[in-house]
Chain A
Amino acid sequence: QKEVEQNSGPLSVPEGAIASLNCTYSDRGSQSFFWYRQYSGKSPELIMFIYSNGDKEDGRFTAQLNKASQYVSLLIRDSQPSDSATYLCAVVQAAGNKLTFGGGTRVLVKP
């Protein structure tokens, strides 16, 4: 089992719709969770972090965390073509401070 798993996609959504991305992790002791966005040919950039169970909203983005189910998700509301990118889930493992990334989900927003 991979430490952080994501559906590779592509996830195709029409402009204005909600994109829902999922991520599961194996280390039950993990405490910090991040979503990074990576445009093609570019480096990743942080868009959200979440530490506590529940929802965290930032603009059009909502991160959701369920530690009991070892599950973290990202919702993108009112999706725009500029949201087309690969979204990487990252988890800080309980032992040490290693930040482990999932394989990423490619999102395509069609006008």
Chain B
Amino acid sequence: GAGVSQSPSNKVTEKGKDVELRCDPISGHTALYWYRQSLGQGLEFLIYFQGNSAPDKSGLPSDRFSAERTGGSVSTLTIQRTQQEDSAVYLCASSKDRPNTGELFFGEGSRLTVL
């Protein structure tokens, strides 16, 4: 596709359930980011993948959050035992190079609502 694709666009789940959010970056982009944006807030960094390097997981808020990137392309963000405070828009972004040399292209986001 032409842009970053995320699915699902909307997810409503019950507290305690697990959810998986998917990101398909722009073809050829080596860097992939996950951010979280709560209503009216800025972007909270979660995790960063760059090529085959070990990911930077420093932004993951708890061990309920994990992410993987298979084959250097598609990434999945998994949230286990969801809590109401996990409700937010989860944004994925990719870039062709390391971010200090180029721009990030964002997907439309996955809106998660935990009841």
Question: Chain A contacts of B42 at CB under 8 A?
Answer: 6, 88, 101-104
Closest A-chain residue to B42, C-beta based? A103
Interface residues on B, range: 20 to 34
The residue from A32, A44, A104 contacting B100, defined by CB atoms under 8 A apart: A32
| Residues of A that sit less than 8 Å from B by CB | 6, 31-32, 34, 42-46, 49, 88, 92, 96-104
Using CB atoms and an 8 Å cutoff, list the residues of chain B in contact with chain A. 31, 33, 35, 41-43, 45, 48, 50, 56, 58-59, 91, 98-101, 103-104, 106-109
Can you name 20 A-B pairs with beta carbons within 8 Å? Answer: A32-B99, A32-B101, A42-B108, A43-B91, A43-B106, A43-B108, A44-B91, A44-B104, A44-B106, A45-B106, A46-B103, A88-B43, A92-B100, A97-B56, A97-B98, A98-B56, A99-B33, A101-B35, A102-B42, A104-B41
